[in-house]
């Protein structure tokens, strides 16, 4: 079909396209661009590495410590969502990646041992964040200072401020020198955890939980399957409230979830509400915390009226009860 010269040209163009894609849209390309910017003293256009993944990941970050123990050692209201999120994100770092935060804590008179301790950690994290609040007023800047160090964070913040616009974590991380990828990932995880700890509850706090998060014997299939949320037993037509500000990403119906809503709360946090009888919001709509978004029902694969409430961090379902302290009773009957 093509002459030898034409095929050679097409091969060359395809190879050039592959190289361009790798350079601009992969972690390896980001490292090359950051390294070149450092060598030639120019500004890097590479995104932070976490932006190349579905969720956040890094060689210096582990996930085992990111989901809190149940029950929480201290009430969330006692120390605040940001302190809890910072503490857990710090515990999720490898020892080498923890060094900037521990050095900063020592500099500001906060015990590094307490900062990593399960019982004392949230309170120590709050003290550290309070000590930084004067120089770093936004949560994004403060967390960058915790995980990257005060001097790199100050430099990055000044660069972003000079450009104007919002002080987002992504913009701040772009201005950090090479080698701070772990700090950026940890700060992003702390923000996600902070958002999760600040969520409300979609129905009254006293609502019984008929099926908790985790593996269970499926009520109709009879096999052991992962239950990715909690089932809240409420009568048909009960008002379902959104747990925080967000944007409706899905408002549809299928044979399994019934009438379902998925709300994006930003910072890698989303919530889902399944088996509703009526949806009151549409895709793309901005919703406010506490707003009525649906009426509960028994649609889809369900054995009785209830709300299946699901919380996801970086597209991974987690137990909502790990992030919410309330008088939740567990009933003996099980819904889907």
Taking CA atoms, 223 is separated from 109, 192, 216, 226, 227, in Å, by 54, 33, 8, 10, 12
Tell me the chain's radius of gyration from C-alpha atoms.
23
Question: Which pLDDT does position 22 carry in this prediction?
Answer: 63
Q: Which residues of the chain have pLDDT under 50?
A: 43-64
pLDDT in tens, 194-252: 999 999 999 999 999 999 998 866 665 566 778 899 999 999 999 999 999 999 999 99
pTM: 0.76
The domains of the chain, with CATH numbers, are 47-197 (no CATH), 209-323 (2.70.70.10)
Question: Which pLDDT does position 34 carry in this prediction?
Answer: 56
Query: E-assigned strands of the chain?
Result: 209-211, 214-217, 224-227, 230-232, 239-241, 246-254, 258-266, 269-279, 286-287, 292-296, 307-313, 316-318
Query: Average pLDDT, whole number, for the chain?
Result: 83
- Exposure class string for 220-237: b at 16+ Cβ within 10 A, else e: eeeeeeebbbbbbbbeee
Question: Which pLDDT does position 215 carry in this prediction?
Answer: 82
């Amino acid at each position: 079909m093509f002459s030898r010269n034409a095929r050679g040209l097409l091969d060359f163009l395809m190879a050039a396209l592959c190289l361009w894609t790798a350079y601009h849209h992969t972690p390896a390309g980001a490292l090359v661009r950051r390294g070149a910017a450092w060598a030639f003293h120019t500004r890097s256009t590479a995104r932070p590495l976490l932006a190349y993944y579905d969720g956040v990941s890094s060689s210096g970050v582990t996930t085992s410590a990111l989901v809190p123990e149940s029950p929480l050692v201290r009430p969330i209201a006692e120390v605040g969502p940001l302190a809890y999120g910072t503490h857990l994100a710090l515990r999720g770092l490898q020892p080498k990646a923890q060094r900037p935060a521990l050095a900063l804590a020592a500099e500001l008179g906060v015990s590094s041992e307490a900062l990593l301790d399960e019982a004392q950690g949230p309170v120590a994290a709050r003290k550290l964040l309070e000590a930084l609040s004067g120089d770093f007023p936004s949560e994004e800047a403060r967390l960058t200072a915790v995980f990257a160090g005060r001097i790199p964070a100050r430099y990055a913040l000044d660069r972003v401020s000079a450009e104007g616009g919002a002080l987002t974590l992504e913009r701040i991380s772009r201005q950090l020198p090479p080698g701070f990828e772990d700090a950026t990932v940890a700060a992003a995880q702390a923000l996600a955890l902070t958002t999760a700890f600040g969520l409300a509850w979609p129905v009254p706090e006293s609502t019984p939980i008929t099926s908790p998060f985790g593996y269970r014997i499926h009520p109709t299939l009879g096999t052991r399957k992962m239950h990715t949320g909690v089932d809240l037993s409420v009568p048909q037509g009960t008002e379902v409230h959104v747990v925080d500000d967000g944007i409706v990403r899905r408002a549809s119906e299928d044979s399994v979830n019934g009438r379902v809503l998925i709300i994006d709360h930003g910072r890698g946090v989303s919530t889902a509400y399944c088996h509703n009888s009526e949806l009151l919001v549409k895709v793309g709509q901005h919703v406010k915390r506490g707003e009525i978004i649906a009426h509960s029902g028994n649609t889809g694969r369900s054995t009785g009226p209830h709300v299946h409430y699901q919380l996801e961090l970086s597209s991974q379902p987690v137990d909502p009860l790990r992030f919410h302290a309330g008088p939740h009773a567990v009933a003996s009957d099980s819904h889907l």
